Amino acid sequence: MKKSISKKFVDYNWILKIIIISFLISILFSFIAETAIPNVNIIFGVLLTLIFIFIGIIFDMIGVSVASADESKFHSMASKKIRGAKMAIKLKRNADKVSSFCNDVVGDICGIISGSTGTVIAIKLIEIFKVNDLLVTLIVVGFISSLTIGGKALVKGIAMRKSDKILFIFAKFLNFFRNIN
């Protein structure tokens, strides 16, 4: 017997928003990568690729932390008027959306962009060193994949063990920007 998902459990507004946000972030990150990488030296290209990988790893850690944090600790902090606690509660109560945004939108986009910047780096390496294009491409792709997967594997355990602390740091960070107005 198959269970059907009730329409009231599917937030179509959120799905539409996340599609639009994903599109815009993809364009922004891709623009940065496509305009910067071909016009810079190989060292800066590698550095930019590492930055995209790092952003993906950090957002993956935040997404896991929000999903596994304990909301009750933040209620105690909020009652003591500790800055950032209310934001942490809001993030935790929207953990499905926050985790989806962090892991799927930012994390996946960074993975795609780091892959495309890796292609440009591979082409530059082939041109500079006049080496086998298949070998260089495989090494660059392997390097990017292993850093991304290894980094995410490393932070997932940390994110689950330190979820409350990571969520609170992220909440204080967001709260700071919210209060700049």
- pLDDT tens sequence across 58-109: 999 999 999 999 999 999 999 999 999 999 999 999 999 999 999 999 999 9
Residue 107: name the closest of 46, 146, 69, 60 by CA: 60
Residue 178: name the closest of 41, 112, 83, 71 by CA: 83
Tell me the CA end-to-end span of the chain in Å, nearest whole number.
53
138 found inside a domain: yes
Domain range for 33 is 11-176
Across 133-150, b (16+ Cβ under 10 Å) vs e yields: eeebbeebeebbeebbee
167 found inside a domain: yes
Residue type for position 52: F
Look at 34 and 174; give whichever has higher pLDDT: 174
Residue type for position 31: F
pLDDT for residue 120:
86
Look at 55 and 31; give whichever has higher pLDDT: 55
84 found inside a domain: yes
Count Cβ atoms within 10 A of the Cβ of residue 157 and give its class: 0-12 exposed, 13-18 middle, 19 or more buried: exposed
Give the pTM.
Answer: 0.86
- Percent of residues, the chain, with pLDDT higher than 70: 94
pLDDT for residue 31:
86
171 found inside a domain: yes
82 found inside a domain: yes
Count of Cβ atoms closer than 10 Å to residue 169 Cβ: 15
